[in-house]
Amino acid sequence: MSVMPNDDARMLTLTFRIDAPDDRTALEQALLRARAGELAEVRRNQVRLSAGYGDGGTRETMTGEAGRAQLRWTMLDRLLAALANEEGQ
């Protein structure tokens, strides 16, 4: 996936306490499950759109929701990458 420059781009730093190794594992698993759910939503919408489901208004709504699901997946993927990068340091 290519990333286009964006004047609105900014870094977001989150800090919170991890009390035990199991907490970090639970966080990673929760993020992975959420990302998988968003990917399922993206694919479901792609199938419906490619199959010609719905009228023009319905398809426009599905296209918007597919874009929002893709964005949520991307944000979760970036969060997981940042978590993995932090672990490697």
DSSP codes of every residue in 46-87: HHHHHTT-S-HHHHHHHHHHHHHHHHHHHHHHHHHHHHHHHH
Quickly tell me which residue has 């800090």 as its tokens. Answer: 15
Q: Which residue has the tokens 């929002």?
A: 68
Phi, psi of 56 (to 5 degrees): -55, -45
pLDDT tens per residue across all 89 residues of the chain: 344 556 678 888 888 898 998 999 999 999 999 999 999 998 888 888 777 776 777 767 777 888 889 999 999 999 999 999 887 66
pTM: 0.73
